[in-house]
Structure 1
Amino acid sequence: MDPVTAGALVAAVNAAASGAGGEAGRRALESFGTLVRRVLRRGEGEPAGGPEPDPAAIPYDDGARLRQLADLLVERARQDPEFGRDLAAWMREHGETAGEPGAVHNQIGGNARITGPVVQGRDFHGPISFG
């Protein structure tokens, strides 16, 4: 089994968060939240002081904090083989397509109504303008 990397995990979480309006995205984030809760708990299944970690508070819009969380999850996966298997399974289901690291799969779906220009891609640098 290939180890999960923090970068791939961040990409998968971002993809799930961007699709969170749909049922599949919502399920992906719920299952990711379950994994996060497992790591943020300490000891004999007790929360590490304070309230139960809230997966809804995962910093999807804060790249640095999300990367810290991904680093924590990857480190725990190295220490705990069962968690590592579960995280790898989540990545297989919700992560980048196997064999295509860095691949971009943009889509607009559901009940989307597009009324103007759309830009899809990855790693944009510099201005984008229409018109």
Structure 2
Amino acid sequence: MRLTILFIVFVSACNAPKAVNNNSTDPIPFVQIAEDQLGGTAQCLKNQSETMVLCVNESPSTPEQPRNTVSFMVISLDDSSVIYESSIDGGNVKWFDDERLEIFNTPGYVRQDQTNDDFTKIYELKTQTMIPKKEYLEK
């Protein structure tokens, strides 16, 4: 039983998206592109197939702007071109799967019958379309 659990944990860890180390002395081209366009330090995470990278810059909240601004972009690793760039006012962005982003907007007010999925959208990079997560999951 323990071996089975260890095997599952090991396989899951191997399939996780790869974080990119930004601390090397030679700048990685996509990190430089992201930091130039997004401003500040960008945290970058490759998709599972390592064909694209999601770079995110989160600005801290201030008394004048209590929600953090999350600026992000997806860069192709083949030719270092920017595939998608946007920002949201409060929330977070992560890989949903190999070719889709999950974009969560922090709501101002949440009714009791709502969940995080009510405020989350899925952006499909190939078709350049965005749909609510609940609608995507119902397909």
Q: Larger % of strand: which?
A: 2
- Give the structure-2-normalised TM-score: 0.23
Q: Larger % of helix: which?
A: 1
Q: Which has the higher contact order (CA 8 A, sep 6+)?
A: 1
